Amino acid sequence: MSSFAAATAAGVRFGRVVLMARGAEGVANSVNFYQNALGLTVVRHTDDWAELACGIGGRDDQPSSSSSSIPQQASGAFRLTIRSVESEAQLSAGYAPILTFDVDDMDMTVARCAQMGGRLDGPIQYPAHGKVAALRAPDGYIIGLYEPAI
C-alpha cells in the first residue's frame, strides 16, 4: 500500500496552509491580496480569521469559474487560512511556508499581484519547463508562480 493510500485509509488528508497576520487589519489586507491578486475564493472571513480556497492540480482539475463559492470540504480545493496573531514570535518569517501557484499567464498574474502590492523577488526565470517567478506578498510571505511550457 502506498503512503498516500495508507494516509487516505487512515482518514488523514492535507487540510490547509495557515498564515499568520498581525491583527484584524493584517487579516483584511491579506484577504484582499489573495482574493484580488490571485483570485482565491473567500469561504469565511472574520476579524481574526479567514479561509480562502482555490482549485488544486492541473488545469482540468480547477473548479468551474461559474461557481460562486467553494464549499469548505470541497474535493480538489486547496485551503489557505489566515489567522490574526499579536506575538512577534508567531510572526517570525524564519519558518514561513512558501506558497506556490500554477498560473495560466505569468505576465498577467505578476502585473495583477504588483497592482495589489506584491513585488517580484528577482526576475522571472525561463527554464525549459516553463516560467518561474518569486514574489513577496504585501503580508511578507514569498509566493512562487509557475507557468508550465506549452
Contact 97, 117 (CB under 8 A): no
pLDDT of amino acid 117 = 96
pLDDT digits (tens, 9 = 90+) for 11-26: 666 678 889 888 999 9
Mean pLDDT within 54-83: 61
- Closest alpha carbon to 131 in 144, 117, 112: 144
pLDDT digits (tens, 9 = 90+) for 102-124: 899 999 999 999 999 999 999 99
Contact 143, 136 (CB under 8 A): yes
Q: Which has the higher per-residue pLDDT, 33 or 55?
A: 33
Q: Which has the higher per-residue pLDDT, 68 or 26?
A: 26
Spatial strand order in the sheet of 77-85:
17-22, 77-85, 49-55, 41-45
Q: Say if pTM beats, i.e. exceeds, 0.85.
A: no
Secondary structure of residue 50 in the 3-state scheme: strand
pLDDT digits (tens, 9 = 90+) for 17-51: 889 888 999 999 999 999 999 999 999 999 999 99
Grid cell of 54 as nine digits = 482555490
Q: In 15-142, where does DSSP find H-type helix?
A: 23-36, 106-115
CA dist 74 and 53 (Å) reads: 9
For residue 63, pLDDT beyond 50: no
